[in-house]
Structure formats: structure tokens, C-alpha cells
Structure 1
Amino acid sequence: MFSCSSARKSRRTNVLTGSTVETIPATESKTPPENNNYSGPVRSLDVPLDIDRKAFVNYAKTFLGTPYKYGSSNPANGLDCSGLLYHIFQHYRVKSPRSSYDYANVGTTISLRKALPGDIILFSGENSRRIGHMGIVTENKDILKFIHAPGSGTRVTITPLSGYFEKHFVKVIRVLE
């Protein structure tokens, strides 16, 4: 796994295929989308957000199949893991971090068994304990599942918490009420 948005050229590993790709960060769109569900002032993640969990997850699912593109938060070009969350939060007019590692001290840490759809799940990087990947919990019944942009050569998908991701799991954070 890897940091979704850093400012340097690096080698990235696709966690699903194991292939390594050299990447150079792409530019990203910083403008919020025009179709915001929330028309008030821009909010922050300093306090729990009053966003409907089901609507939040359903909006995230509209990006299923979007190609992965390192450094991008624009679905027309592709998305990386933190770009997916950044774009979703922009939709709800929420100021959010752009890099996965910047979520380390955001929200309230909750236990895995108490995770709800809409909570954010964080993972360590390939060769690091630092946050390097993230997704949004979509369900937590028999097994927790999350939506994310896994890496080069993949598309936004829903994945169960097992194998590689279980090994690199760091924590779940709650930012929604």
C-alpha cells in the first residue's frame, strides 16, 4: 500500500497484482463540484458532520469502476484513494485533508467491530507504519467491506477486510455523526 498523494516521484506497488510502477504526481482539481448536496458554508472535520451515512456511502458508490490515477481527485481523470475521499467531501462542502497520512489525527478512533458505513478506514503503507491508504466502510456485518481506489491498473472497488488489508489495518475513524 502507499501514500495516496505525496509531492514526490516514487515507486508504487499495486496491492492487487503486486506489480511496481514508477509514478509522478498528477495535478488535481481543487474546485468543488457544482452539484453539492449542502449549500451552506464550507465545513471542517473538526466536529462530527451531520451527513446521512447511507447517502454518503451511496454517493461514494457512484465512483465504482473509476480508474485509479495517482494524485488525482477528479473522477473524469481517475482517482487515488485520498482523492476519492477528497472529492466526496468536496461534494458535501467539507474541507478535508488531501493525503491519506493527514487523516491520522482526524475524527474519533473507534473499534473495528463498532465501525459503521461511512466511517473511514486507514491502512499503513507497504513498508511503513505511517498511514498510506484509506477507504470508506460500506458495511460491517459478517465481514467489514470498504470502498477505495487500490492502486495502479485498478479501479475504484469494494473490498473485504482480509489478507493484505487486514495485515495493514491501522484504525477506523468516525467523522460523521
Structure 2
Amino acid sequence: MKNGYSFLMLTLLVVLYSCSGARKSQKVNVLEQRPDPVESTAAATTSKKENNPGNTAINRSLDQPLDINRYDFVDYAKTFLGTPYKYGSADPDKGLDCSGLLYHIFQHYHVKSPRSSYDYENVGREVSVKKALPGDIILFTGENSRKIGHMGIVTENKDVLKFIHAPGSGTVVTIGRLSGYFEKHFVKIIRVLK
């Protein structure tokens, strides 16, 4: 009975503190511009890989730079393009929120990671936008907050920085650009991969 209660409490905390950490954010769609249809649907039909296959333990953390190929990391993230947004979820079969997307990806690589976007504030090493690489994590403030409330993974940084994320209610995992709304809410980019 005690384990069931602990699981229930943990589940409740995950729902309360995921993404922007406020129930209000569930109804906010952070997309100001429409996603590029080619980018948002290109991998929507790609099958989603199993999360943490077998009974392999989560044995790495974000305390040290991770020895994960950044291009493989981004390619795996792209397998979730088209997944519906679902507040508080890290299960792609049900939907994903922004921090749930990263949580699920890190679990695939057996990495213990925060479940809330807010908890990424002091993770990794900050890098400039100019030096951002695919696989770096990009952080934004929430809609009506100065705290971190949204996040994504940098996919490319050529003419404009692009990132994969789960924007908000009524959307799907897509690739956005660091412009407009996102430029105004940009906080920083962090590097957690070697």
C-alpha cells in the first residue's frame, strides 16, 4: 500500500511541475507562427522507438557532459515529430509536453534527468546562440513568468537556430525557429552533451 501511495504522490508531483509548472500553462500554445508543415510532419509516421528497452537501469546523470552522439540524439528526438501535446506526459503513446519529450529521450539513453523545464536552469554549461550545436537544450520563460517554463532541443544552427519541442495544447511535437515569440522568451542554451 505504501508503494502505491508513493507512486501516486510522485505522479501528482510530475503533473504539477512539468513544463511551466503551472496548470494555467496547459492552455497556452507557445506557437506564435505556424510550424513549417514539412518539418512538423516529415517524421510523424516514423515509428517511435522503445523507451529504456529491457530492464536496463538509468545509470548516468546530467552532472557531467554525456558521451552521446549529438546527431543520433537529435535524430531520435525527431522520431517524435507529430506526437500530440499532452500536459504532464512523458509517454509518447499518450502525448508529450516539452519537458516530457526531453525526459523520455534521456530515459532512452539511460540518463537520469529533471522532469520539469524549470529544473534545467542550473544544468549543463551555457553556450551562446552563435555556438549552439544540435543536441544542445534551449530554454524559454513561460507565458506570463520570468521562470523557465518551456524547452526544446536544438536541431540546427545555420541561417536561423531551429529546435524541436512540444509547443502546447492543441499542437504536436514540431520544429520551431528562434524568432518572434521564442526570441522574446529566450533565456539561454545549455550544453549537456560532449
Q: TM-score higher than 0.5 here?
A: yes
- Is the alpha carbon distance of 1:9 and 1:165 closer, same or farther for their aligned partners in structure 2, counting shifts above 3 Å? closer
The answer to whether structure 1 residue 139 and structure 2 residue 156 are counterparts is: yes
2: CA distance, partners of 1:92 / 1:110: 23
2: CA distance, partners of 1:73 / 1:118: 19
- 1:13 shift after superposition: 1.3
Match of 1:119 in 2: 136
1: CA distance, partners of 2:52 / 2:67: 20
Give a deviation string over 1:104-129, Cα, whole Å, max 9, x none. 00000011100000000000111111
As a proportion of its length, which structure holds more strand?
1
Match of 1:43 in 2: 60
Q: 2:101 aligns with which of 75, 84, 92?
A: 84
1: CA distance, partners of 2:58 / 2:93: 25
- Is the alpha carbon distance of 1:34 and 1:175 closer, same or farther for their aligned partners in structure 2, counting shifts above 3 Å? closer
Q: 1:61 aligns with which of 78, 81, 105?
A: 78
The amino acid that maps onto 2:19 is C
After superposing on structure 2, the runs of 4+ consecutive aligned residues of structure 1 that deviate more than 3 Å are none
- Is the alpha carbon distance of 1:46 and 1:98 closer, same or farther for their aligned partners in structure 2, counting shifts above 3 Å? same
Match of 2:120 in 1: 103
Match of 1:4 in 2: 19
The amino acid that maps onto 2:155 is T
For structure 1, the 5+ residue unaligned runs are 19-31
> How many equivalent residue pairs?
160
The amino acid that maps onto 1:15 is V
As a proportion of its length, which structure holds more helix?
2
The higher radius of gyration belongs to 2
1: CA distance, partners of 2:58 / 2:32: 42
- 1:5 shift after superposition: 5.8
The amino acid that maps onto 2:153 is I
Aligned-residue sequence identity (percent) comes to 73
Give a deviation string over 1:22-43, Cα, whole Å, max 9, x none. xxxxxxxxxx92438xx67610
When normalised by structure 2's length, the TM-score is 0.77
> In the alignment, is the contact (CA less than 8 A) between 2:31 and 2:167 conserved in 1?
yes
2: CA distance, partners of 1:130 / 1:16: 18
1: CA distance, partners of 2:114 / 2:193: 15
The amino acid that maps onto 1:159 is G
Give a deviation string over 1:147-177, Cα, whole Å, max 9, x none. 0000000000001111000110000000000
2: CA distance, partners of 1:99 / 1:117: 21
2: CA distance, partners of 1:123 / 1:5: 10
- 2:152 aligns to what SS in structure 1? strand
> In the alignment, is the contact (CA less than 8 A) between 2:87 and 2:96 conserved in 1?
yes
The amino acid that maps onto 1:105 is N
- 1:10 aligns to what SS in structure 2? helix
- 2:130 aligns to what SS in structure 1? helix
Match of 1:14 in 2: 29
